[in-house]
Amino acid sequence: MTLAADRIALGERLADVSLALEPGTITAICGPNGAGKSSLLEALAGLLEMDRGTVALDGADLRDKPARDRAQRVGYLPQAHEIAWDVPVRSLVELGRMPHGDRRAGPVDAALEALDIADLAERRAQSLSGGETARVLLARVLAGEPQWILADEPLAALDIAHQLALLRHLRRAADRGAGVVLVLHDLAHAMNHADRVVVLDRGTVAADGACEDALDQRVVERVWKVPVRWIGEPNHRALVSG
């Protein structure tokens, strides 16, 4: 179930980016504003027409797969948290089952519970707060039980308790064999919760590897251009200014 990009390029946003992602792991994509993080995630989801290069799922070009098959296997959460229809929350989450042609209660209930929104099931979607909306939209992705979960800044609108709860749920999903790819701005969350970090800088891969290596102090200072240092123990690291 490998998801791989081979020398993909898109205008000034991405330049010859190559990487192979493995199921059962959490990969964090990090980088400064404008580094190409969202573009890379969209490309991995098969949503961008690239200038060159390919994205392959299990060795086959993602563009050659039927849209239904692609939607069953790759779940994508965009950065913008907008809901167009004022429907009940449960109905919105059930939309995640559309690629499968059913509205099975089991996956929907599991997604609602995982995101701590079961009590919101009958609420109208457009009455939700920003954080509630973010959790509902991610629940829609999870209800589809995709093999790959691609989420663009899924923690941005959440309080710390829900951030940690979501990260724990994504860890469980990875432990069950799903591939999880997250765009994260919080480098401490990436350091403490990811298995691998890909650092982008101006559309190119500046670092790629284990968290301790890809987010080494020297890498952070070179890419983000701020003096920093890591403190704390492994899996409980914090980043402070130099």
Strand 179-183 with 26-30, pairing: parallel
- Residue 101: per-residue pLDDT: 92
Q: Which two tokens stand for residue 157?
A: 């609108």
Phi, psi of 36 (to 5 degrees): 110, 15
Q: What is the mean pLDDT of the chain?
A: 94
Q: Give the span between the Cα atoms of 151 and 45, in whole angstroms.
A: 10
Return left, alpha or beta for 145; rule: phi > 0 is left, psi -120 to 50 is alpha, else beta: left
Which pLDDT belongs to residue 242? 73
What is the structure's pLDDT at 73?
95
d(CA 193, CA 190): 5
Kindly state the tokens that stand for 212.
């301790």
61-120, pLDDT tens digit by residue?
998 999 999 999 999 999 887 787 889 999 999 999 999 999 889 999 999 998 999 999
Neighbours of 53 (CB within 10 A): 17
Architecture of the structural domain at 3-81+146-241: 3-Layer(aba) Sandwich (3.40)
- Res 85: pLDDT: 82
For residues 222-241, average pLDDT: 95
Instruction: Using pLDDT thresholds of 50, 70 and 90, give the confidence band for residue 236.
Output: very high
Q: How far apart are the first and last CA of the chain?
A: 41
Model confidence at 36: pLDDT above 80: yes
pLDDT at residue 84, as a whole number = 79
pLDDT at 238: 97
- The arithmetic mean of pLDDT across residues 228-233, rounded, is 96
Residue 83 has a pLDDT of 83
**Contact at 8 Å (CB) between 241 and 228?**
yes
The arithmetic mean of pLDDT across residues 8-37, rounded, is: 96
In 3D space, the residue among 46, 26, 35 whose CA is nearest the CA of residue 182 turns out to be 26
Phi, psi of 156 (to 5 degrees): -60, -40
Distance CA(96)–CA(109), nearest Å, equals 12
pLDDT at 25 over 80: yes
The most distant pair of C-alpha atoms in the chain lies apart, rounded to whole Å, by 53
Which pLDDT tens digit goes with each residue over 155-204?
A: 988 899 999 989 999 999 999 999 999 999 999 999 999 999 999 999 99
Domain boundaries, the chain: 3-81+146-241
- Strands 204-209 and 196-201 come out as antiparallel
From residue 208, give the alpha-carbon distance in Å to each of 18, 76, 191. 10, 22, 13
pLDDT per residue as tens digits for the range 104-119: 899 999 999 989 999 9
